[in-house]
């Protein structure tokens, strides 16, 4: 009991004050309860010196001024409500303390006279409740404004995230994750509409992704027809959301149903669901997002039926509004990602078709470009991982960097499309038709000698020659035939190409000096000058002019690739591809660039190109070189200042040729 309540004689001043305060509160209570204007209020006397008048959750606390002066502990049970603005204090009489600022700070709303009438009490209570309601509305507006600012900020951040993500799979995951976040959904899934038939019923919904905070499971992609019988199909067809409080309790007339078998399979209970369409700029539905089980507490898991019953609520209008706002942004982002993906696939198709075209013209090097692309990309990754203290320390690559490198490697030999096919596929030093002409020439020389011998025999017989003279002519013919066949054998041997310099060129020069008389009586050499040049090639099968023609493919490659609008991220494809035959010492082609002028990507491609050209399966103009021998040759190229020593070292140490392909690759190179 308050300190105001103690036993004492009526003459005691404090006792008189106490009994006076009690009498005042008796009168106040009587007047309040008899006032018809307060009939809808709940009037309670929780303490002899207090009366409360409640309207909904707001109420006024009436107390005599003496309580404030001498017994504030009586008000302690209401301190929280007074402080929070749910209650307001009305003092009857004026406190003895002159400064009322503390009382105002503790919730004082009004002062009335020592003996207030009904009207005075009603006005005080009415004004107090009005103030409380006004304050509550202001706080609600403040909370709503803060919530609005928070949600707006989240939507802006989400919009930034989804509009900058270009990879379709990552974007879908991001859209679903953010939609669940702003609505408090426990789970969700996302579908993409596929097909371009004008009739939407002929299209399909591709289930791409599912997320669930409570139950882990493997969700595989599948497709279903766009049909009003499924919730996602209904949303896709009608282009409007559906919001269901409990999918197990759908109305009998509902056009769509819910299949509980998936819940049963994974041990889950789907209850509330919000399905929202994702639309393109033109308003076509290109996807559907399903949000499942809005939770009271985002951190709670739904592990039992009791959890679902306790935690899951229907998606409220605000959630629907937020997801609708997000969906409008997400739909455009999804449309952009789909277009980006289609452009990427189109570019991939163009690159692979271009490589296929090269292979068709030069089937002898089939697969070379794909292998070079794989080797080059793997070398780039190995360089990134290497403990490198040299000039390439800290080198790193983005996905676009590696894709640019892959495209450049795949197309590094595309310019061969502008090189004569017979030069591309030249397997020997002589073209087949040239060797055939020489063969005919040898045969004609043999026949011419036979004719000459027969004519000489006739003349000898006319003069009565002896048998020994005729035998001598036969021997001479046999020797000449053998010489001509030996010459052709030497020519055939010299016609074989070699990887390294070598060949009996003196023998070819001797044969070239030999002549015969044709049927017209003309003196003809066994070998023409251009044939001598071809057979005198010291390395490979190409003459200097043919080598120049082959080398021109790099210029063609650069010119062709420069005409393709690669975009900002792949803008250097032409430069990288067109520099793979440059050498560090400036003796390469076509621009004779020196080390510091050659792109790093081109230097890597040079290593891969030479290695594959050496180790590729047998080609008509060369045998495959064992890996260890190929590595030795790479070492010689380093000593000759053709290849970068650091790149060759990483290539060898990482054994790049043994690594699995890091990305798709494509076609041809010599």
Ramachandran region, residue 341 (left: φ > 0; alpha: ψ -120 to 50; beta: rest): alpha
Domain 168-340 sits in CATH 3.40.50.300: no
Q: Are 439 and 478 in contact (CB under 8 A)?
A: no
**Token pair recorded at residue 315:** 């998606």
**pLDDT tens string 573-584:** 999 999 999 999
Query: Poorest-confidence range of 18-22, 49-53, 617-621, 625-629?
Result: 617-621
Question: Is the distance from CB of 290 to CB of 190 less than 8 angstroms?
Answer: yes
The predicted pLDDT at position 388 comes to: 66
Query: Which residues, in sequence order, are CB contacts of 402 under 8 Å at separation 6+?
Result: 377, 380, 381, 662, 663
Cα 22–24–30 angle (5° rounding)? 105
- What's the rounded Cα separation, in Å, for the pair 487 and 511? 7
Helix, strand or coil, per DSSP, at residue 451? helix
Q: What is the pLDDT of residues 218-255, one digit of tens each?
A: 778 888 899 999 999 999 999 999 999 999 999 989 99
CB 588 within 8 A of CB 642: yes
- 209 φ, ψ to 5°? -160, 145
Spelled out in words, what is the top-level CATH class assigned to the domain 362-421+546-658?
Answer: mainly alpha
- pLDDT the model gives residue 618: 55
The first and second tokens of residue 23, run together, are 């009498």
384-411 pLDDT per residue, tens: 888 766 788 888 999 889 999 999 999 9
Q: What is the pLDDT of residue 6?
A: 37
Q: Are strands 515-517 and 285-295 parallel, antiparallel or unpaired?
A: unpaired
Q: Which CATH code, of 1.20.1440, 3.40.50, 3.90.550, 3.30.70, is assigned to 13-136?
A: 3.40.50
Are 225 and 201 within 8 A, CB to CB? yes
Give me the half-sphere count of Cα atoms (radius 13 Å) on the Cβ side of residue 462.
6
Q: Which of 1-10, 424-433, 586-595 has the lowest mean pLDDT?
A: 1-10
Task: Report the C-alpha gap between 85 and 133 in whole angstroms.
Answer: 9
pLDDT digits (tens, 9 = 90+) for 33-57: 999 999 989 999 999 999 999 988 8
pTM of the predicted model over 0.85? no
**pLDDT at residue 142, as a whole number:** 66
Distance CA 238, CA 235 (A): 5
Please state which of the ranges 133-137, 320-324, 447-451 shows the lowest mean pLDDT.
Answer: 133-137
Please state, as a whole number, how many other Cβ atoms lie within 10 Å of the Cβ of residue 499: 15
Every domain of the chain and the residues it spans: 13-136, 168-340, 362-421+546-658, 432-540
Mean pLDDT of 308-337: 88
Surface-to-core class of residue 96, CB atoms within 10 Å of its CB (0-12 exposed, 13-18 middle, 19+ buried): exposed
Query: What CA–CA distance (Å, rounded) separates 586 from 594?
Result: 4
* pLDDT value for 146: 65
What band does 499 get if pLDDT is binned at 50, 70 and 90? Answer: very low
Average pLDDT, the chain: 85
DSSP per position, 237-259: HHTS-EEES-GGG--TT-SS---
Give me the mean pLDDT over the 192-208 stretch. 86
The residues near 216 (Cβ < 8 Å, ≥ 6 apart) are none
Stated as kind and residue range, the H or E segment containing 42 is strand 42-47
| β-pairing verdict for 312-313 and 285-295 | antiparallel
- HSE, CB side, 13 Å, CA atoms: give it for residue 206: 8
pLDDT in the model for residue 10: 42
Instruction: Tell me the β-bridge partners of 295.
Output: 312
Find out whether 348 and 663 touch, Cβ atoms under 8 Å: no
């Amino acid at each position: 009991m308050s300190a105001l309540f103690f036993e004492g004689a009526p003459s005691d001043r404090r006792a008189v004050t106490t009994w006076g305060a009690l009498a005042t509160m008796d009168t106040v209570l009587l007047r309040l309860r008899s006032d018809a204007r307060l009939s809808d209020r709940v009037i309670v006397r929780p303490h002899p010196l207090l009366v409360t008048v409640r309207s909904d959750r707001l109420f006024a606390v009436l107390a005599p001024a003496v309580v404030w002066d001498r017994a504030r502990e009586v008000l302690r049970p209401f301190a929280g409500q007074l402080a929070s603005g749910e209650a307001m204090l009305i003092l009857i009489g004026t406190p003895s303390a002159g400064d009322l600022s503390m009382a105002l700070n503790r919730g004082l709303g009004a002062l009335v006279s020592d003996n207030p009438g009904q009207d005075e009490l009603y006005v005080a209570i009415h004004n107090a409740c009005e103030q409380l309601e006004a304050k509550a509305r202001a706080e609600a507006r403040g909370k709503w404004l803060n919530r609005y600012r928070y949600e707006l900020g989240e939507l802006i951040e989400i919009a930034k995230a989804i509009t900058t993500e270009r990879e379709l799979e990552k974007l879908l995951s991001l859209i679903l994750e953010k939609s669940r976040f702003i609505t408090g959904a426990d789970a969700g899934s996302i579908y993409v509409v596929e097909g371009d038939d004008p009739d939407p019923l002929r299209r399909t919904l591709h289930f791409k992704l599912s997320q669930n905070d409570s139950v882990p499971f493997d969700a595989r992609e599948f497709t279903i027809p766009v049909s009003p019988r499924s919730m996602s199909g209904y949303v896709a067809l009608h282009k409007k959301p559906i919001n269901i409080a409990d999918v197990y309790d759908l109305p009998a007339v509902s056009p769509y149903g819910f299949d509980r078998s998936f819940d049963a399979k994974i041990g889950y209970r789907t209850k509330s669901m919000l399905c929202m369409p994702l639309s393109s700029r033109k308003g076509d539905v290109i996807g559907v997002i399903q949000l499942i089980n809005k939770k009271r507490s985002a951190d709670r898991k739904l592990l039992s039926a009791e959890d679902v019953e306790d935690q899951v609520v229907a998606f409220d209008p605000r959630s629907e509004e937020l997801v609708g706002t997000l969906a409008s942004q997400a739909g455009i982002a999804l449309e952009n990602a789909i277009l980006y993906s289609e452009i990427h696939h189109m570019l991939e198709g163009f690159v692979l078709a271009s490589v296929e075209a090269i292979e068709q013209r030069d089937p002898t090097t089939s697969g070379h470009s794909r292998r070079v692309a794989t080797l080059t990309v793997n070398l780039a990754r190995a360089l990134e991982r290497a403990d490198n203290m040299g000039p390439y320390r800290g080198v790193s690559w983005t996905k676009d960097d590696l894709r640019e490198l892959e495209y450049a490697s795949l197309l590094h030999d595309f310019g061969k499309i502008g090189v004569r096919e017979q030069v591309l596929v030249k397997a020997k030093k002589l073209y087949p038709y040239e060797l055939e002409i020489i063969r005919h020439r040898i045969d004609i020389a043999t026949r011419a000698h036979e004719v000459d011998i027969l004519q000489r025999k006739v003349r000898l017989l006319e003069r009565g020659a002896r048998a020994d003279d005729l035998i001598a002519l036969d021997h001479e013919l046999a020797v000449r035939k053998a010489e001509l066949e030996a010459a052709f054998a030497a020519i055939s041997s010299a016609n074989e190409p070699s990887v390294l310099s070598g060949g009996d060129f003196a023998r070819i020069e001797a044969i070239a000096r030999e002549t015969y008389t044709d049927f017209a009586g003309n003196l003809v050499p066994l070998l023409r000058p251009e044939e001598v040049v071809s057979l005198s090639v010291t390395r490979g099968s190409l003459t200097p002019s043919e080598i120049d023609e082959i080398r021109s493919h790099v210029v063609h490659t650069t010119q062709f690739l420069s005409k393709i609008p690669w975009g900002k991220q792949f803008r250097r494809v032409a430069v990288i591809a067109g520099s793979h035959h440059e050498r560090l010492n400036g003796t390469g082609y076509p621009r004779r660039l020196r080390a510091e002028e050659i792109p790093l990507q081109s230097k890597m491609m040079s290593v891969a190109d030479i290695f594959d050209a050496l180790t590729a399966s047998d080609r008509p103009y060369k045998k495959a070189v064992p890996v260890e021998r190929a590595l030795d040759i790479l070492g010689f190229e380093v000593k000759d200042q053709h290849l970068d020593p650091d790149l060759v070292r990483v290539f060898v140490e990482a054994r790049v040729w043994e690594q699995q392909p890091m990305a798709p690759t494509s076609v041809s190179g010599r």
